[in-house]
Amino acid sequence: MVFVHGFRGKAVATWDEFSSSGHTDLWWRDTDMLFVGYDSAHDNITAVADRVRTNLRKFYPKPHTPAMNLGGTTPRDDTSTPYGELVALGHSLGGLVLRRAMADAAQDRLDSETAGEKPQHQEILNAKLRLFSPASAGFRPAGMLGLVKASGLGTVVEMYLRRSSAYTDLQPGSELLVTTRNRTEQLAPQFSQLRARILWANPDDVVNTERYNTDFVAETVDQQSHSTVCKPNPQYGLPLHFGATGRRP
Amino acid sequence: MTDIPLYRLRAFEASFIEPHMLFLEEYPQARDDALELLALHLMAGDQFVRGASHGLLRMCLLVESEAWLEAGRRAGYFPYAAGTPEIVIGEVPLDKLAARLGYYTGPLQEAFSSADPNRLATQLALEAEGLTPSRLEYLRLLIFAENDEQRKRIEQAEQVAALFVRRPDITMPTDAMDEISWVLHGPDDEIYEEDDPSLMEWPSRWRREQSWHERQWAENAQNLRDRVKRCRQQFEAAIAQVALDERRAGELQNRDVNAAAETVGYSEAAAVDADILYWDQEDGIGNE
């Protein structure tokens, strides 16, 4: 399972108790988890998407060898059998990153087939795409203040003062949002894996809660905010169930 | 060889010990300045050995890592049998420095016998990624840096904040933002989701602001903390103004779009009438 965080830049903390979920459920115990980190205030969204797409082969379909052996010690007996399933979970901006990565992989396959070449970096097209309040339709009109509440003052100030990609590209109607949506909707009939399952927070005061036309009908969870929607805890187990199945119980 | 507790220990060493050891090896001056200060017992006021702050921070984090190891062993998370090699800094074992570093950290080797391995695992993951470059710089400046450096660095941030307030449309270059990143991303409320009292149970508590009132050096840091707080309030006010301006601009744009639609309708109608009149006049048909 690949986790891609949103605005605040914490690869693991975004997902709270996902990292210890193996103690609650056998399905999770049998899951290796890859938490992707990037600097949301500095990095271009397209660059992060490219990084995810091109580096996934190091971790899938076979387990990442350097992580499976530390000083001659392994976490389990079998560290080489390929994985049976790949799930990509994205929260907020991370959802947009994953969408872009998958659309680019699909486009690359078509281009390669047309050119008679072998496509590369196709691993991500094996993923089941499950998103928590994705930022694929950009910030809400009152998004700046909601973003401060969700992501912290420092992140928003830095994004704004740098005019980072995460700030400019998430203005509704931006080139990045429009092209990602158009490409996904054009390619999804051929590549059904581009269709996302989505769980929205209600209320979400940071991002526009719009899905693509080709997505599955979205689910909503009340009394969770944009930042808490993806964080399981003993009282809120839905993220674990949604992550594992793509649906509500 | 499959050995889960030992695997965890190796992962812990890679995350919590090796980065700081590597830093001290790559920057021997920082290491030696810190060792000199500790040897001279100079830890208060302005009597810092210049340049010691970087080394001291890393040494305190290594002392903290020893406490995590002990907590992990007691919780059954790490093995007792296979130990981590003794940490030696320069030629000085860390154990010998720990007592003097206690001026900064307070006692860390307390009984964590009730630590739940699941909670420990989650907390270790959070701690590892919480020590960002901005956070490290914040801690270094607040706890270990000399007054001159503290003053210079906070003044930089205050200048940017004041500029932002005056010019909400400003864009800042990357290097300027890097210099003030510690103010924006370093404080506790940028790192931790909430002011959770259970965080004080862990060996990292010495770097939690809520524990600083216990420390002798905290008085020196208070002035800087206050200035950081005021600086952040300025940034907050400026970003709130930006949000308000963008919202107003959005509303104005909607209003203009609506108004323009009405205007176009009127002009088109008038243009159609004019064309008809012209045609009529050219052909001499109609109006005279």
**pLDDT tens string A169-225:** 988 899 999 999 999 999 999 999 999 999 999 999 889 999 999 999 999 999 999
Q: Name the one residue in this structure whose structure tokens are 């200035």.
A: B227
**B64 and B43 assigned to the same domain:** yes
pLDDT of B278 > 50? The answer is no
pLDDT of residue B254: 62
pLDDT of residue B260: 62
Contact A229, A201 (CB under 8 A): yes
**B126 and B80 assigned to the same domain:** yes
Contact B42, B48 (CB under 8 A): yes
Contact A18, A242 (CB under 8 A): no
Beta bridge partners, A233, equal: A236
Q: Which residues of chain A have pLDDT under 70?
A: 9, 22-24, 141-143
Chain A residues in contact with B255 (beta carbon < 8 A): none
pLDDT of B272 > 50? The answer is no
Q: Name the one residue in this structure whose structure tokens are 């092209």.
A: A179
- Residue B269 corresponds to which tokens in the numbers above? 């109608």
**B40 and B116 assigned to the same domain:** yes
**B115 and B147 assigned to the same domain:** no
- Per-residue confidence at B256, pLDDT binned at 50, 70, 90? low
From B105, B131, B157, the end of a domain falls on: B131
Contact B4, A75 (CB under 8 A): yes
Highest mean pLDDT pick, A169-173, B179-183, B266-270: B179-183
Asked if the Cβ–Cβ distance from A13 to B129 is below 8 Å, we say yes
Closest CA to B245 of A141, A157, A156: A141
Asked if the Cβ–Cβ distance from A152 to B190 is below 8 Å, we say yes
Q: What are the pLDDT digits (tens) for B193-209?
A: 666 777 778 899 999 99
Lowest mean pLDDT among A24-28, A87-91, B88-92, B150-154: A24-28
ipTM of the complex: 0.87
A9 Cα to chain B: minimum distance (Å) = 10
- E-strand ranges in chain A read 2-4, 34-36, 86-91, 127-132, 197-202, 219-222
pLDDT mean across residues, chain B? 81
Three-class DSSP labels, A107-176: HHHHHHHHHCCCCCCCHHHHEEEEEECCCCCCECCCHHHHHHHHHCHHHHHHHHHHCCHHHHCCCCCCHH
Contact A46, A164 (CB under 8 A): no
pLDDT of residue A3: 95
Chain A residues in contact with B181 (beta carbon < 8 A): 154, 158
Lowest mean pLDDT among B125-139, B175-189, B190-204, B235-249: B190-204
A77 touches chain B (CB under 8 A): yes
Q: Stretch B112-133: mean pLDDT, rounded? A: 82
**B161 and B38 assigned to the same domain:** no
Can you give the residue range of the structural domain that contains B184?
A: 132-288
Half-sphere exposure of A98 (CA within 13 A, CB side): 36
Q: Stretch B224-233: mean pLDDT, rounded? A: 95
**B143 and B244 assigned to the same domain:** yes
From B107, B131, B155, the end of a domain falls on: B131
- Per-residue confidence at B275, pLDDT binned at 50, 70, 90? very low
A116 touches chain B (CB under 8 A): no
pLDDT of B94 > 70? The answer is yes
What are the phi and psi torsion angles at A46 (to 5°)? -65, -35
Contact A169, A176 (CB under 8 A): yes
Number of domains observed in the structure of chain B: 2
Measured N-to-C along each axis, helices B94-105 and B52-74 cross at an angle, to the nearest 10 degrees, of: 100
Q: Stretch B9-31: mean pLDDT, rounded? A: 93
Asked whether the CA dihedral B101, B102, B104, B110 is positive or negative, the reply is positive
**B101 and B127 assigned to the same domain:** yes
pLDDT of residue B45: 45
Contact A149, A69 (CB under 8 A): no
| Other CB atoms within 10 A of residue B78 CB | 24
| Other CB atoms within 10 A of residue B201 CB | 16
Among residues of chain B, what percentage have pLDDT more than 90?
Answer: 44
pLDDT of residue B244: 83
Q: Which of B7, B125, B174 sits opposite A19 (nearest CB)?
A: B125
**B43 and B28 assigned to the same domain:** yes
Among residues of chain B, what percentage have pLDDT more than 70?
Answer: 78
- Per-residue confidence at B263, pLDDT binned at 50, 70, 90? low
Contacts of B245 (CB under 8 A, 6+ apart): B168
pLDDT of B44 > 50? The answer is no
**B67 and B146 assigned to the same domain:** no
Closest CA to A6 of A230, A239, A234: A230
Chain A residues in contact with B130 (beta carbon < 8 A): 10, 13
From B115, B131, B147, the end of a domain falls on: B131
**B107 and B173 assigned to the same domain:** no
A81 touches chain B (CB under 8 A): no
Cα B286 from chain centre: 79
Beta bridge partners, B89, equal: B92
**B99 and B238 assigned to the same domain:** no
CA distances from B30 to B19, B23, B26, B89, B152 (A): 15, 9, 9, 11, 20
Closest CA to B97 of B23, B33, B38: B38
**3-state class of A86 per DSSP?**
strand
- Chain A residue closest to B7 (CA)? A73
**B182 and B73 assigned to the same domain:** no
pLDDT of residue A85: 96
